[in-house]
Amino acid sequence: MIDSGNSRSKVALADHQGILVSDIMSSEQLAAGDVLSWCQSHDYAIPSYVLASHVSQPQTRTAISRWAQPLTIHWASTHAQQAGVTNAYQQWQTLGCDRWLTLLAAQQRSQGRFPSLIVDTGTALTIDWLDSHGQHLGGWIIPGFELMRDAVLARAPGVFIDSDSSRGRATAPASNTSDGLLNGCQAAQSGVVRQALAVTAELPAWQHFRVLLCGGNHQELLAVMPDNTDVVPDLVIHGLQVYAEDLRLR
């Protein structure tokens, strides 16, 4: 299984019982076909099929198709309805495939017992609401921490980073430019989560929801997360497993 995101790729080998081994690769490694040698380095046979979620540059998809040619490759795609989940988008195809997969994984975890708020902290930070009936209510997209920081650095010549810290502190006012940018971007990431929690508190029948936190920046957000949070960094890969079961891929 491959989760090809906009910053990096997550790969996992799975059989019908679950994930055997997983890893993180750069998009370059993924494009070069390092997955096959990675399988062999773990003493696993070459898989019978590849199931991939892809939201990044088209050339990465072309490169994966090239090295995966001898295998059967399935590209996961967003559906209007699948595995008990109904997409909120009118143009359902335009919801990111990785977001769709997190919804499938959330529904499988809840089994209709509670609503889920999904916070995915990748290149972009996305938030999605899924009610206990599997109805997606929609979501938000904002720049992730690095993207937000880099956007200001790229457009404002007076803003720079000269501190050793690469991460900000959402709780502290800053008295220099570097920390002002880093702390501010971190506060914005935390702030959107707080706002999502405030919106959730107003939703009828959402008294007993759970939060699912995933993605590469999840640790930075732990401090703002409520007690009812489950941290599942590779939720997209879990969604790929649900997708494979739903399509009965063998």
Ligand X SMILES: CC(C)(COP(=O)(O)O)[C@@H](O)C(=O)NCCC(=O)O
- Nearer Cβ to ligand ADP (78/217): 217
- Nearer Cβ to ligand ADP (115/216): 216
15 is catalytic: no
Output the six-digit token pair for 59: 């050339």
Interatomic CA distance for residues 185 and 111, integer angstroms? 35
Q: Which of 98, 131, 179, 234 is catalytic?
A: 98
Phi, psi of 171 (to 5 degrees): -100, -5
By the rule CB under 6 A, 134 interacts with ligand ADP: no
Output the six-digit token pair for 115: 């609503």
Among 1, 5, 220, 237, binds ligand X (CB under 6 A): 5
Question: Which residues 125-184 are close enough to bind ligand X by CB under 6 A?
Answer: 126, 141
Of the candidates 144, 137, 89, 88, the one whose C-alpha atom is nearest the C-alpha of residue 117 is 137
Among 25, 63, 105, 124, binds ligand X (CB under 6 A): 124
- Nearer Cβ to ligand ADP (60/131): 60
Q: Which does 145 bind (CB under 5 to 8 A by kind): ligand ADP, ligand X, none?
A: ligand ADP
Distances (CA, A) of 98 to 6, 47, 76, 133: 11, 22, 9, 20
DSSP three-state, residue 41: helix
Output 89-92 pairs: Cβ under 8 A, ≥24 positions apart.
Answer: 89/136, 89/138
Q: Which does 179 bind (CB under 5 to 8 A by kind): ligand ADP, ligand X, none?
A: none
Among 96, 184, 216, 239, binds ligand ADP (CB under 6 A): 216
Interatomic CA distance for residues 99 and 19, integer angstroms? 20
By the rule CB under 6 A, 92 interacts with ligand X: no
Output the six-digit token pair for 211: 């939060």
By the rule CB under 6 A, 115 interacts with ligand X: no
Instruction: Count Cβ neighbours within 10 Å for each residue of 64-83 and write b for 16 or more, e otherwise.
Output: beebbeeeebbebebbeebb
By the rule CB under 6 A, 220 interacts with ligand X: no
Specify the stretch interacting with ligand X by CB under 6 A; choose among 13-21, 30-38, 39-47, 123-131. 123-131
**Chain positions contacting ligand ADP, by CB under 6 A:** 5-8, 122-123, 144-146, 215-217
Known catalytic residues?
Answer: 98
